Amino acid sequence: MTRSLLTLLALLAALVSLPALAAERAKILFDFADPAALRGWQVRDDGVMGGLSKGNITRDPAGYAVFSGKVSLENNGGFSSMQTNFDPIEVSQYEQAVVRLKGDGKDYRFIVKAESDASHYYVAEFPTTGDWEEIKIPLRTMYPVRRGDRLDLPDYPAETLSQVRFMIANGRAESFQLQIAGIALD
């Protein structure tokens, strides 16, 4: 064989093995096909500020979490979220969060905290299409926020992770439903 053909074959072999390497590198945080994956998740609504929004978390028997409810703007309200806290884990080897979900055509926020006692968190906003899709969120582009205000701090360093949250806060009263099959780091 010629040298160029050998080079081409080596390149093709590397390309074929990339998905396998990515799969080996990925860390599954939550697979909602397992009913135990929903333990520890809780709703956090704007009631902490006097608002009247109501969110709910259930598990569909088909194997996904369902975050649904109604956002109200009454009494200075305007958001609903589902979140889980855990001991900090090392995430520096990962580039992105990958979320398999089906939304309702509305915009949501994916939020993380680096440390459980941190006073701020990091946010990435994403639209949904109404179909099952894979949302990829580059970790190091998530911006810092505290109580809804963007902070003049560096973006998420993606060294540790201690909280994951989904939020809807679009500035309008609306019903919502977000179905989540799983969350991984890649």
Is pLDDT larger for residue 9 or for residue 65?
A: 65
Residues 110-144 pLDDT 10s: 999 999 999 999 999 999 999 999 999 999 999 99
Q: Collapse the DSSP code of 66 into the 3-class scheme (helix H, G, I; strand E, B; otherwise coil) and give the result.
A: strand
Q: Provide the whole-model pTM.
A: 0.86
Share the mean pLDDT of the chain: 89
Separation of CA 92 from chain center: 17
Question: Domain map of the chain by residue range?
Answer: 27-185
Is pLDDT larger for residue 48 or for residue 105?
A: 105
Beta bridge partner(s), residue 165: 83, 111
Report the CATH fold assignment for 27-185. Answer: Jelly Rolls (2.60.120)
Number of continuous H segments (helices) and E segments (strands) in the chain: 1, 13
